[in-house]
Amino acid sequence: MERIYLDNNATTLVDPAVREAMEPFYCHMYGNPNSLHSFGIEVRPYLNRAMEQLYAGIEADDEDNIIVNSCATEGNNTVILGMYFSLLKETRKKRIVTTQLEHPSIREACRFLENHGVKVTYLAPDSRGLVTAESVAEALSDQTALVSVMWANNETGLLQPMKEIAAVCRERGVYLHTDAVQAIGKVPVSVREVPVDFLTFSAHKFHGPKGVGGLYLRKGVVLPPLLHGGEQMGGHRAGTVDVAGLVGMGQAMELAVTALDYENLVVRRLRDKLEDALLRHADVLVIGERDLRTPNTVYASIRGVEGEALIWDLNQAGIAASTGSACASESLEASPILTAIGADRELAHTGVRLSLSRFTTEQEIDTTIAVLDRAIVRLRQLSTSY
Ligand SMILES: Cc1ncc(COP(=O)(O)O)c(CN[C@@H](CS)C(=O)O)c1O
């Protein structure tokens, strides 16, 4: 059976060009870049090139810093815990402002700090699923050390007004972090246009390898390392650099930025075609206005159809989708995102997330539409509540 992959917000195919770029660093050029012999020295130009690709991808200034790590979860924890040890622990600034929409790697790190005397405000989104700059401004006080707002939500694709939020934080002298995992490669992400102080990303979300990510720090911003040990990454993150992973991430970043037009023209059209087909069924709610979302994502609630049951039907037909974020897929709890934007209990249990990529074809979307149409009719016939 030809399988169809529509869960790209969970992870993505490694672009063949990325895999090709990584290959030599597993078999020919496998030296440790910190080694002083030829095996170490020969890999350094490739690491420098990869870093240039990362800086260019988010329009970072040469004097800014990008720390290469293992993933966005590590990057998010580095920011939240690093701010605690560098600011919150020793000063009167004991507050963090974040949102109810964040990924667990932000929410749980904040909850951990609440056990250490930190006050955390979890802003609720409005009925459109957005956290406004006004709501951020209202939550700030002279004790606020950090604001953390995700650029794009992993379940709905909803984009937060980062430029306006950055302006508020800049004006009030508060550090701003954004989790840009679901934005890179889908919408333009520029730390020049949007002056955040910290930004996190993960290569496997934009057709790079799993196990490597990045944390951007604006020039002059100091953060203690999460991992202590060797002098790698200028002392910002100990541990031998994953050379192949970094080379792959740099190549993936360059390809992702180059493909933004394709993403916003072709992938968006295929997503809209799939979304329109869903909306032809009665009692279907798509979360978030189309123009406020990343071009590849549709999160729909189909009344009378349990999310898990629909995912199972799709999986039986060889189609991969999810009821929400992969890290919450085992949980039978209602989606916190849907709950946060006011969906009722039934609706919060009927969510299905479909997330496309530049490798998704029109034929795959047509096949998925046909399978969805049959599955929705079948499951509603079995439903006792519809
Ligand atoms: C906004 C956001 N922030 C952080 C992460 C974590 O990325 P890692 O590379 O796994 O550390 C993710 C990963 N979201 C996946 C797995 S839970 C999803 O299915 O939605 C994310 O979407």
Backbone angles phi, psi at 250, to 5 degrees: -60, -45
Q: What is the pTM of this model?
A: 0.95
- Long-range contacts: 26-33, Cβ < 8 Å, 24+? 26/244, 29/243, 30/243, 32/240, 33/241, 33/243
DSSP state of 239: S
Nearest CA among 78, 169, 187, 158 for reference residue 335: 158
CA-closest residue to ligand 1 atom 15: 10
DSSP state of 293: B
Q: Which of 103, 215, 299 to mutate to test the pocket of ligand 1 (most atoms within 8 A of CB)?
A: 103
Is residue 46 within 8 Å of residue 23, measured between CB atoms?
no
- pLDDT at residue 326 in the model: 67
DSSP 152-168: B-TTT-BBP-HHHHHHH
- pLDDT at residue 329 in the model: 58
Cα of 202 to ligand 1 centre, how many Å?
8
At 370, list the tokens: 């046909």
Query: Residue 233: what residue type?
Result: M
Q: Give CA–CA dist 93/331, Å, rounded.
A: 35
The ligand 1 atom nearest the CA atom of 205: 9
Tell me, using a 6 A CB cutoff, whether residue 212 lines ligand 1: no
Q: Which residues are catalytic?
A: 327
Cβ-based neighbour number of residue 162 at 10 Å: 24
Q: Which of 5, 8, 73 to mutate to test the pocket of ligand 1 (most atoms within 8 A of CB)?
A: 73
How do the domains of the chain map onto residue ranges? 4-12+260-382, 16-258
Is residue 137 within 8 Å of residue 295, measured between CB atoms?
no
CATH number of 16-258: 3.40.640.10
CA-closest residue to ligand 1 atom 20: 325
Cα of 107 to ligand 1 centre, how many Å?
12
Which ranges of the chain have pLDDT less than 50? none
Write the ipTM: 0.98
Tell me, using a 6 A CB cutoff, whether residue 377 lines ligand 1: no
Paired residues of 354 in beta bridges: 298
Cα of 187 to ligand 1 centre, how many Å?
17
Tell me, using a 6 A CB cutoff, whether residue 105 lines ligand 1: yes
Tell me, using a 6 A CB cutoff, whether residue 154 lines ligand 1: yes
175-179 and 144-148 strand pairing: parallel
Residue at token pair 């249990």: 349
Backbone angles phi, psi at 341, to 5 degrees: -95, 15
CATH 3.90.1150.10 for domain 4-12+260-382: yes
Tell me, using a 6 A CB cutoff, whether residue 182 lines ligand 1: yes
Residue at token pair 């060797």: 230
DSSP strand E in 85-165: where? 95-99, 119-123, 144-148
- pLDDT at residue 327 in the model: 66
- pLDDT at residue 332 in the model: 57
Tell me, using a 6 A CB cutoff, whether residue 72 lines ligand 1: yes
Q: Give CA–CA dist 308/350, Å, rounded.
A: 8
